[in-house]
Structure 1
Amino acid sequence: MLHRGYDIWITDDEGRRMPEYKMEVEGHNGKTVACYIPSESGKRFAIHWKDYNGLHTSSMSMVVDGTHRVGNVCRPNDHGHRIGIRTDHAEVYHPFQFAALRTTDDDSALLETKAHALEKLGTIEVNVTRVHSHVRRAAFRPQAFSGVGAVHERSKKLGAHCVT
């Protein structure tokens, strides 16, 4: 999706750009854009970006399934991609992969799952924010990545996928 000088797209595990469907501007300020992409359980994907503005250094903050947050810096007129979440070492990634949403009929799962978390299941968000170019890099901190647990069958989206 190309919006306000930033191009954000998802590629499949073979590096092909995935088609985007029903792209539309959301919200009252025109800063948010959304679309749908096809997903298939077991397929890996990567998130890509390109800055065509050339004016500012930006933070590319990605949120997967509403819970897993990762980020990168993008210099003016630069591009980049993210293939997953760094876990144990700075160079070891847990790759992004589509997975079928597991469901359960256990009623305790209804109480454990927060409503706002359910709204974000199956979503990939990329937030672009201007940052100062002289910001120092933070030390690497490993992240846990356990994926999405089982969701009560009455609260899932029809045909939803998540990331594992």
Structure 2
Amino acid sequence: MIVNEKFSAWVEIEGVAAQEYNAQVKEDGKHDISRSSCWIPSEEGKAFSVHIKDASCTIDTCWVVRVDGVKIGSIFLQPPYRGECERTSCLKTVRVSHTEQRGLIFSKINVTDDEEYLTHTTHHNLGEITLDVWTARYAERTVPALFVQLPNEPVHEKSKKSGTHCIGLGASEQVESTEDDTAHLWNRIKHLATFSFKYRPLELLQANGIVPAPPPVPAPEEDDAEAEEELKGLKRQMEVMQERLAQLEKSRGAKRVRAEPDVAERRTRKRVKVEPKSTFVPGELIDLTSD
């Protein structure tokens, strides 16, 4: 998102620039400040990073980053010493202790039905990532180091903010320990510009008309529908034929089993040896002596 010909900023979700919707740039002539805003879709559990660019980088600038109204860091850009005509930087992790840092993620909001939270006004900036650009001057002194803690206070279920996402912190990473509890100070001088990225789940942005709804799935053409019905009819015919074939095979097998005993009997009769008819006459004497 470009606020003017000089400054620009954008949000990347897991390394891919987030799609921006309903982007607007307004010039505050009274305070000489450029204010830009847009909507981006958020995805629960996805890591994101905030990117900035000064296209000319002729002055020292300080970019103050806030999420859900909580300051999480400042980015300083200084003019190059030679050659370069622009400077870029990004913020994707925050320091939570001297030896620990955590990444930025979109998280599920904590919803409650406790009436105590119904009138809370601390959620005014919930669902928003902001950057304020200032001219700055390096100061020869230090300030307490910023260790980020995000409260994620519950939101009442009747609030218009309920059902949305909030900013959370990812897995812990060990880093080199800082020497002390201080950081170098940059004095902010003049407010130049403000960026505002309002994030919501994609489904909610579509429901509110901010993001176009996906195109409806086209109904099948008439020819396709007829072909589909014909295919279903052929499949039913095939199933009937297969069932009939199975019945015929089963019937044929039963007949074969019944025929087998008759065949065996005929084969047995064929194997019985028939003896020649005897010529012996009852009462006849047979001479068994030899000559």
TM range (shorter): 0.7 to 0.9
Q: Retained in 1: the 8 A contact 2:155–2:162?
A: no
Q: Report the structure, 1 or 2, having the larger helix content.
A: 2
Aligned counterparts of 2:115 and 2:72: Cα–Cα separation in 1: 28
Moved more, 57-66 or 94-103: 94-103
Q: Cα–Cα, structure 1 residues 42 and 147, in superposed 2: closer, same or farther, change >3 Å?
A: farther
**By how many angstroms is 1:27 displaced?**
6.3
Partner residue, 2:98: 89
Percent of residue pairs identical? 27
- SS of the residue aligned with 2:11? strand
Partner residue, 2:283: none
AA at the equivalent of 1:63: R
Partner residue, 1:124: 129
Pick 1 or 2: higher relative contact order, CA cutoff 8 A, min separation 6: 1
**By how many angstroms is 1:143 displaced?**
1.8
Partner residue, 1:11: 12
**By how many angstroms is 1:100 displaced?**
1.8
Aligned counterparts of 2:96 and 2:50: Cα–Cα separation in 1: 17
**By how many angstroms is 1:137 displaced?**
6.8
Q: Deviations over 1:98-144 (max 9, x none)?
A: 01212111111224x22xx3221010001100112x43473562424
Long gaps (5+) in structure 2: 80-85, 169-291
Does residue 144 of structure 2 align to residue 143 of structure 1? Answer: no
Aligned counterparts of 1:21 and 1:160: Cα–Cα separation in 2: 17
RMSD (Å) for aligned C-alpha atoms: 2.1
Partner residue, 2:89: 80
AA at the equivalent of 1:81: C
Q: Retained in 2: the 8 A contact 1:65–1:162?
A: yes
Q: Retained in 2: the 8 A contact 1:58–1:74?
A: yes
TM-score (norm 2): 0.50
Structure showing greater Rg: 2
Aligned counterparts of 2:68 and 2:136: Cα–Cα separation in 1: 25
Partner residue, 1:107: 115
Aligned counterparts of 1:45 and 1:155: Cα–Cα separation in 2: 26
Long gaps (5+) in structure 1: none
- SS of the residue aligned with 2:58? coil
- SS of the residue aligned with 2:118? helix
**By how many angstroms is 1:155 displaced?**
1.8
**What are the equivalent positions in structure 2 for 1:143-162 lying under 5 Å apart?**
143-157=147-161, 159-162=163-166
Across the two proteins, how many residue pairs are aligned to each other? 158
Q: Deviations over 1:6-38 (max 9, x none)?
A: 11011112x111111110024643611000111
**By how many angstroms is 1:67 displaced?**
2.0
TM-score (norm 1): 0.85
- SS of the residue aligned with 1:63? strand
**Hey, which bits of structure 1, 4+ residues long, moved more than 6 A?**
none
